Structure 1
Amino acid sequence: MYKKILLVTVSSLVLIACSSEPKQNKQTLEVSKKCEATQSIPGGWQQAKITPELKQAAIAAASSMEGKHTVKEVQSATEQVVAGMNYKINFTTEESNIAFVAVVYRNLNGEYQVNSILPQSEVINCK
């Protein structure tokens, strides 16, 4: 009797172990967390049209950089509706051949705050 109970218990544990999802390594988890921002979910990041407000956000980002920088071209952007608007903007400057990615917050009064700015080569691009 005990052998049958042991056999059933061991078999159940083997089936449970085999049916579990494979573990993801830490790097895969970090990339997926960073890429979640591009998924279309309510309150999430959405593709944005290049509007005057978005261009002004890019200008605010460029002017916050060390030295004198002027926006040459806004290549693409995403936006997130919050109490105001978050913009993630890909742009180039007249003074450099480097593309930048900036995250800029525009509050309800229309004031801009640059949260981050990095060269595009240092940003994980999600497709």
Structure 2
Amino acid sequence: MKAGLAALIAGMLVASPTSAQPLAGGWSAGQTTNPEVREAARFAASQLGHHARLAHIDAASQQVVAGMNYRLTLRLTNRQRWEVTVWRQLDGTMKLNGKQRL
């Protein structure tokens, strides 16, 4: 039993480049329609300071940390595109950790 559990944990922690399993702690695909992803996107758009609102989420990925990181590609109502990183802390508060205009 111990050997089987150890093998399972090792398989979760180390994924080969061709493996379909995500690497623990690494980025994985996110769903642009997920309510938490959408909330993070709206928060990020509000922090960009361009008096524009979120028009569309073009791409999303997420990473489990002490909370959740969201890496998002956003399109705003003023037609600007941004790649942003939002950290949702364990208490639910959010922080914009990175932004780059595309």
Instruction: Give the alignment's TM-score, normalised by structure 1.
Output: 0.60
Higher helix content, 1 or 2: 1
Identity score, percent: 30
Closer, same or farther in 2 for the Cα pair 1:67/1:91, shift >3 Å?
Answer: closer
Alignment of 1:1-127 (within 5 A): 40-50=22-32, 51-95=34-78, 97-120=79-102
Residue aligning to 1:10:
none
String of CA shifts for 1:14-36, please: whole Å, max 9, x gaps: xxxxxxxxxxxxxxxxxxxxxxx
Superposition deviation, residue 71 in structure 1: 0.3
- After the TM superposition, which parts of structure 1 deviate over 6 Å for at least 4 consecutive aligned residues? none
Gaps of 5+ in 2: 1-21
AA matched with 1:85? M
SS at match of 1:103: strand
Which protein is richer in strand relative to its size?
2
SS of the residue 2:92 aligns to: coil
TM-score by length of 2: 0.73
Q: How many residues align?
A: 81
1:93-127, Cα deviation, whole Å (9 max, x unpaired): 002x231100000011111100111113xxxxxxx
Structure 2: how far apart are the matches of 1:111 and 1:103?
14
